[in-house]
Structure 1
Amino acid sequence: MSPVTTTTALRTVTVRYFAAAKSAAGLDAEAVEVPAGATVAALAEDLAERHGAEFARVLARCSYLVDEVAVRDPQRVLPDAAVVDVLPPFAGG
């Protein structure tokens, strides 16, 4: 008999960074593979690990849009091919 192998389906999401998040990440956008069923919170944890402590500090204050819709629940599941915008607090008026 063949051994049973388990594979996790991956989805690619595009993450776009703005203002301080862009500066801390060192780039304005990237494609990130996440497991099917990944949440916005899980993506944020992965991004913090990828980009280091300074980025993690900025990320802690950020809000998110998924496909141009504000995320109210960080446990929201990311759809395939989603565009996630990482938005730090903005000042001004």
Structure 2
Amino acid sequence: MSTAGPGDAVETPHDTDQRPATVLVRYFASARAAAGVETEVVRVPPSASVADVIGHLRTAHPDRLPRILDAASFLLDGIAVRDLTRPVSDGAELDVLPPFAGG
């Protein structure tokens, strides 16, 4: 029979990989104006999706940003996001691209 002593490390289920994921959000054009910042770091649960990050942004910037997020496109690590349930990983970059006018 073995027992853990005072100096022994004991791993518990909540000790493994439960740290929040850090996502760098970059805003462009009107999204930047609505958020009031060019970039920000968002911390989300390790199992978070793009939709979870967007939900956080809506809460953090409730005045003008939600309307822009409704029409925006998103890039996750440089790749267009079509499925907002796509998971984000620690260290990911999420670009918020509002609709652009042009021809």
Q: If the length of structure 1 is used for normalisation, what is the TM-score?
A: 0.89
| SS of aligned partner of 1:60 | helix
Alignment correspondent of 2:83 = 73
**Matched-pair identity in %:** 46
Match of 1:27 among 27, 32, 37: 37
| SS of aligned partner of 1:41 | helix
C-alpha displacement of 1:79: 1.3
Measure the CA separation in 2 of the matches of 1:65 and 1:38. 16
Range with greater deviation from structure 2 (6-15 or 47-56): 6-15
Alignment correspondent of 2:3 = none
| SS of aligned partner of 1:53 | coil
1:43 is the counterpart of 2:62: no
Structure 1 gaps, min length 5:
none
Alignment correspondent of 1:53 = 63
Measure the CA separation in 1 of the matches of 2:74 and 2:49. 12
Moved over 6 A (4+): none
Deviations 1:35-91, CA, capped at 9 Å, x for gaps:
101000111011000001311111111110000000010000001100100000111
CA RMSD of aligned residues (A): 1.6
Measure the CA separation in 2 of the matches of 1:79 and 1:42. 12
Alignment correspondent of 1:85 = 95
